[in-house]
Amino acid sequence: MIKLASLDLFRKVPRDLTQATRRGGVLSLSVASFISLVLFCEVVNYIRGDTKSRLVLDNNSDQLLDINFRLSFYELPCRFATIEAWDFLGNSRLDVTAKIEKTVLSAEHGKLHMQPYKELMPPKRSAWPALLPMLLNLTLLRMDVF
């Protein structure tokens, strides 16, 4: 049987020689065994490669999130300032700028004046007549009755 003192990695250092001890051999063997066990467990877990996945549905997808922000563009006309928003799935939200309050900043005589911006837009028409053929998958025919 191999002497434990010969396995000692942590030798005591006398004046000019190193000396192996039985306690150092036990410690060295214990540490080497522990490192080997940890290495073996890590390799087994790496090779096995268990994958766990979980799908969670958001129940609050219909609720809107209020976002308050304040941006100042001193040389940009209000009609060119637009906002686009996407959710984490990449779905775009249209007509985001309809609920944004724009304020015109104008400097006259060294003072900054603020006034609400009113964009001249044509009245919105109902999209229902245009969507009806697509929803029913039919073509509309005009029939004149005499």
pLDDT along the chain (146 residues), means of 10: 76 71 92 98 90 79 70 73 69 63 66 58 52 48 40
> From the centroid of its chain, how far is CA 19?
59
Whether residue 129 is contained in a domain is answered as: no
**Pairing label, strands 92-93, 111-116:** unpaired
Do 76 and 43 fall into the same domain?
A: no
Within a domain: 78: yes
Is 143 a member of any domain?
Answer: no
In this prediction, residue 34 carries a pLDDT of 98
In this prediction, residue 4 carries a pLDDT of 79
38 with 74, same domain: the answer is no
> What pLDDT does 113 receive?
58
Q: What is the pLDDT of residue 138?
A: 43
Query: 10 and 41, same structural domain?
Result: yes
Q: What is the pLDDT, as a whole number, of residue 145?
A: 40
Q: How far apart are CA 24 and CA 2, in angstroms?
A: 14
Decide if 60 is inside a domain.
no
Same domain, 43 and 80: no
Q: Which domain holds residue 111?
A: 68-119
CA distance 22 to 28: 10
Residue 85's beta-bridge partner residues? Answer: 93
Is residue 137 a part of any domain in this protein? no
**For the chain, how many structural domains are there in total?**
2
Looking at the fold, whether 73 and 115 belong to one and the same domain comes out as: yes
* Residue 41 included in any domain: yes
Instruction: For residue 1, count other CB atoms closer than 10 A to its CB.
Output: 3
Q: Is residue 63 part of a domain?
A: no
Same structural domain for residues 39 and 77?
no
Closest CA to 84 of 74, 72, 98, 70: 98
| Together in a domain, 115 and 73 | yes
